[in-house]
Amino acid sequence: MTIIQKTNEESIVLAIMELAAQMLKKGSSLTNMIGLTTQQWMVLLYIQGDTNIPYAEERLQEGGILASDIAEALNVSRPNITNLLQVLADKGLITQDKDPKDKRRKVLVLTRKGRDAIAKVAPLRENANRRLLYDFSEEEKEDLLAKLMHCLDRLHGRV
């Protein structure tokens, strides 16, 4: 039997993985309230242009976001994102409009129903985030975010 040495690196990575799993579970309980999966919710946030999402500002194009941008951001295949978008369109949450600059491309746009869905969950999401980080100072939050972004940059080959 191989004995795994306890290291800070391993403990940090496993703690982040556990945190992500727990946050996904909590997020699912919020999005299920409006009949969406967490992945569908994330797609709506990308289309809305939520700048809290890592690298979202880089992916937003003037006039809207493309399906390929979201597929890349969520690390899913093009067929997977196509299916997700179809479900959201069938629910009346998004439309796919022709890009005025390039008629071959379609930009994704939230409908009023999509904006209402985001507005319904937003206060619950914000409250959950506050409860998670309530005893962190603003400086500690900024420091934590910077460290997490550095890790993401490394994973994406940016550093």
DSSP string, 21-51: HHHHHHHHHHHGGGT--HHHHHHHHHHHT-T
Look at residue 61 and tell me whether its pLDDT is greater than 60: no
Q: Where are the alpha helices (DSSP H) in 32-100?
A: 38-48, 56-59, 67-74, 78-90
Look at residue 111 and tell me whether its pLDDT is greater than 60: yes
- What is the pTM (predicted TM-score) of this model? 0.85
Output the pLDDT for position 35.
Answer: 93
Pair of tokens at residue 120:
């319904």
Mean pLDDT score, 34-44: 93
Output the pLDDT for position 63.
Answer: 57
Look at residue 157 and tell me whether its pLDDT is greater than 80: yes
Look at residue 15 and tell me whether its pLDDT is greater than 90: yes
Output the pLDDT for position 1.
Answer: 79
| DSSP one-letter code for 150 | H
Residues 6+ apart with CB under 8 A from 67: 78, 81, 82, 85, 96, 106, 108
Output the pLDDT for position 105.
Answer: 82
* Residue for token pair 């940090």: 12
Q: Where are the domains of the chain?
A: 36-125+136-155
Mean pLDDT score, 95-106: 83
The structural architecture, per CATH, of the domain 36-125+136-155 is Orthogonal Bundle (1.10)
Output the pLDDT for position 73.
Answer: 83
Mean pLDDT score, 75-81: 90
Mean pLDDT score, 14-25: 95
